[in-house]
Structure 1
Amino acid sequence: MCRVVDLHQAVLAKNDRAADTLRAELTARGTTVVNLLSSPGSGKTALLERELVEARDRAVPVAALTADLATENDAARLARSGVPVKQVLTDGLCHLEAGMLAGHLEGWLPDPVRLLFVENVGNLVCPASYDLGETLRVVLASVTEGEDKPLKYPTAFGLAHLVVVTKTDIAEAVGFDEETFRANVERVNPGVEVLLTSARREAGVGLLLDRALAAAAGTPVHTPVMAREPHQHSHDHTDDAHADHTHEHSDHTGARADHTHHRTGDGAQDHTNGTAAMAQPRS
């Protein structure tokens, strides 16, 4: 008898357990995680910087962790807000995972922090499959990306608690069709709220903070139709020909991206008021 393990499902199950543990630990200390996902160049960092300044001005204790394959550019920008910021360099890995996030928070996350904004790696495929222990998952899309983005990336948009449109100051110039975009979002995630923002003109700035604070206060977030399924999935076989066999596939709802590679030794730097200090991640 041999046991055939679905590697993809096992990886996601392990991540979900780590996410549940992290969520419980952070909730116990009064911290709520907001996971921000988008394509590269969506204006996510620009909007987040404005939201962090808004939080500072309202005396809301916040912190931000930003992940990129390389460079500390985003952390340097976010640190201008004056709130605690940490850069995580994934060295090629296209997403964060719950265990990785927990390791980078250990010994760094200030107290108190009401909201922790996590700027995920710019990618709408891989990050969509990984729960980071967040209470609020936000997917952002700029007006330059096209109205069909939700249909092209149904997992990312389908699992969102909130959708944010950025760069609306140039919507007319690029011919953005808001009605069509909203209709496409509704097709993959019925009932999810869509916010319109422009960091340059400060239009809609503070709305994301408002929604995050409401979630932190216990206001129920939107429940996506694309529900998660348990990820433990294995089979027992008596045929010896299947020995030492492993395979991977997406889950039965199609809600997960087929992505299982891992990397250790991620770099991280702490940026507080623009000053960098090396932080040691947990292996």
Structure 2
Amino acid sequence: MCRSVDVQQAVLAKNDDLARTLRDDLAGRGVTVVNLLSSPGSGKTELLGGVLARAVGRGVPVAALTADLATENDARRLARSGAPVQQVLTDGLCHLEARQVRRRLEGWLPGDTAVLFVENVGNLVCPASYDLGETLRIVLMAVTEGEDKPLKYPTAFGSAHLVVTTKTDLAGPAGFDEAAFRANVHRVNPSVEIVRTCARTGEGVDTVLDRALATRHAAPPHRPPLAPRPHDHGRTHDDPHDDGHRHSHDDDHEHTHPHEHTHPHDRARPHPGDRDPAHDGGRDHFHPAPAVAPAS
């Protein structure tokens, strides 16, 4: 168990160093990074699409990276906003790491970008432990997910600078107890702001964008640790069936296409998640979003 924790701590320490450098570099270019975390199906992509479209409409230069284990579906959806979008395919890795973000931005991020939104893999466990160089970390939860979710995932909600509820138009049918939810959030993160949103009605979309823009000039007034304590899956490093999420993949491969690429090739690459670095043959891939006309 000690060897497992040692490896885990080393991976997170390396990630933290890269994230710190990335944050400083991007801040020097006037770019704020916003890391979006949620469970699958929370409505994160739909809300982000609304935020990007609102930014484009307001003349704010924004861009987005979106991560998934497979398919380019989210990138195609987000590209309809008219903002520059790139897709990262992680090949089964359940979270993004700072090195992936840094490599994906090389030679791509438009020079006038004010805010880069990073849509993390749908997961509230592993992504919570990895700083991506963000200035603002937003944790989202749909009202259909249950008021106790902050207590079940205290690392994610406890590290948030902003908590966002989504799909608020379903609060009544879902029996969502907002007071209980807020109390649970503030048990793990006493000072964090909670914003209500609904992508369908537009509720809260401008608020999320405004909070992101505010971080360009000053750090969030509420700043918990960006890299919380690591999670331990209770396995030793010698376990041959180890699928814990604590190893880095330094041999990742970039697969790029011109922005005008119009033949998306969604692909699912079966892989059981993280691998031991000594035997790592898996690679995460990077795809620009297919060209899609901006929504009218």
Q: Which bin holds the TM-score, normalised by the shorter protein?
A: 0.7 to 0.9
Q: Is the 8 A contact 1:67 1:88 kept in 2?
A: yes
Q: 2:21 & 2:226 partners in 1: Cα distance? A: 20
Amino acid at match of 2:164: V
Amino acid at match of 1:154: P
Q: 2:226 & 2:62 partners in 1: Cα distance? A: 29
Per-residue displacement from partner, 1:90-118 (whole Å, max 9, x unpaired)? 01000000011101111111111000000
Q: Secondary structure at the match of 1:6?
A: helix
Per-residue displacement from partner, 1:239-273 (whole Å, max 9, x unpaired)? xxxxxx979xxxxxxxxxx7313443311111264
Distance 1:86 1:229, change over 3 A: closer
Q: Secondary structure at the match of 1:206?
A: helix
Q: Is the 8 A contact 1:83 1:272 kept in 2?
A: no
| Bigger CA radius of gyration | 1
- 1:218 CA drift (Å): 1.3
Per-residue displacement from partner, 1:215-238 (whole Å, max 9, x unpaired)? 1121533122x675799xxxxxxx
Per-residue displacement from partner, 1:116-163 (whole Å, max 9, x unpaired)? 000000000000000000000000000010000000000000000000
1:203 aligns with 203
1:267 aligns with 285
Q: Secondary structure at the match of 1:141?
A: strand
Q: 1:18 & 1:36 partners in 2: Cα distance? A: 19
2:56 aligns with 56
Q: 1:152 & 1:47 partners in 2: Cα distance? A: 23
Q: Secondary structure at the match of 1:66?
A: strand
Q: 1:227 & 1:57 partners in 2: Cα distance? A: 31
Amino acid at match of 1:26: L
TM-score by length of 1: 0.83
2:270 aligns with none
Q: Alignment RMSD, CA only?
A: 2.2
Amino acid at match of 1:261: H
Q: 1:270 & 1:4 partners in 2: Cα distance? A: 36
Q: Is the 8 A contact 1:136 1:221 kept in 2?
A: no
TM-score by length of 2: 0.80
1:150 aligns with 150
Q: Is the 8 A contact 1:33 1:116 kept in 2?
A: yes
**What aligned pairs does 1:204-223 form with structure 2 within 5 A after superposition?**
204-223=204-223
- 1:5 CA drift (Å): 8.2
Q: Is the 8 A contact 1:39 1:124 kept in 2?
A: yes
Q: Is the 8 A contact 1:84 1:273 kept in 2?
A: no
Q: Secondary structure at the match of 1:134?
A: coil
Q: Secondary structure at the match of 1:216?
A: coil
1:9 aligns with 9
1:177 aligns with 177
Q: Is the 8 A contact 1:43 1:167 kept in 2?
A: yes
2:166 aligns with 166
Q: Is the 8 A contact 1:66 1:88 kept in 2?
A: yes
Q: 2:188 & 2:10 partners in 1: Cα distance? A: 26
Q: 1:273 & 1:213 partners in 2: Cα distance? A: 26
Q: 2:174 & 2:211 partners in 1: Cα distance? A: 28
1:132 aligns with 132
Per-residue displacement from partner, 1:178-203 (whole Å, max 9, x unpaired)? 00000000000001000000001111
Q: Structure 1: state its 5+ residue gaps.
A: 232-244, 248-257, 276-283
Q: Higher strand proportion, which one?
A: 1
**What aligned pairs does 1:1-283 form with structure 2 within 5 A after superposition?**
6-224=6-224, 259-263=245-249, 264=252, 265-271=283-289, 273-274=291-292
Distance 1:191 1:4, change over 3 A: closer
Aligned length: 250
Distance 1:207 1:272, change over 3 A: farther
Q: Is the 8 A contact 1:141 1:164 kept in 2?
A: yes
Distance 1:85 1:4, change over 3 A: closer
Q: Which runs of 4+ in 1 moved over 4 A?
A: 226-231
Amino acid at match of 1:96: L
Amino acid at match of 1:221: P
Amino acid at match of 1:222: H
| Higher RCO (C-alpha 8 Å, min separation 6) | 1
